[in-house]
């Protein structure tokens, strides 16, 4: 699905369809989801119909459906910034130090 080419209304509609499919796959009624999420039934109806809801209501619904782990895919952790990488570059280890005399493994060698 190319979300890039979709307008806001189409994205809300698609998200609503996916949430409804998840709810039905879990065999949960709207009323049961409403109770699990701690939101009004109208919130569930609005989400599923593509009319949207508050971010809080949306997140509570995702949590009740067991979909919060997918938020990490939506917003992956950013890596270090170029400035942080430049600062670390001088401290980057270039080679192993090897074993020092007197620091070998205990119990003798082979």
10-43 pLDDT, tens digit per residue, is 999 999 999 999 999 999 999 999 999 999 999 9
CA dist 34 and 89 (Å) reads 51
Q: Is residue 40 part of a domain?
A: yes
CA dist 15 and 69 (Å) reads 16
pLDDT value, residue 41: 95
Q: Is residue 38 part of a domain?
A: yes
Computed over every residue of the chain, the mean pLDDT equals 86
Q: What is the pTM of this model?
A: 0.68
Number of H helices, E strands in the chain: 6, 0
- CATH classification of the domain holding 27: 1.10.260.40
CA terminus-to-terminus distance, the chain: 61
Cα–chain center distance at 65: 14
Tell me the residue range of the domain where 54 lies.
3-65
Q: Is residue 15 part of a domain?
A: yes
Other CB atoms within 10 A of residue 34 CB: 20
More confident residue, 66 or 2: 66
The total domain count for the chain is 1
Q: Is residue 84 part of a domain?
A: no
Q: Is residue 8 part of a domain?
A: yes
């Amino acid at each position: 699905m190319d979300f890039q080419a979709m307008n806001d209304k189409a994205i809300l509609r698609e998200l609503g369809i996916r949430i409804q499919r998840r709810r039905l796959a879990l065999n949960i009624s709207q009323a049961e989801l409403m109770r699990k999420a701690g939101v009004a039934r109208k919130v569930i109806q609005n989400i599923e119909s593509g009319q949207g809801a508050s971010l809080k209501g949306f997140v509570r619904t995702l949590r009740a459906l067991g979909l919060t782990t997918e938020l990490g895919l939506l917003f992956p952790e950013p890596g270090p910034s170029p400035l942080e990488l430049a600062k670390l570059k001088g401290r980057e280890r270039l080679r192993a130090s090897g074993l020092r005399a007197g620091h070998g493994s205990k119990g003798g060698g082979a």
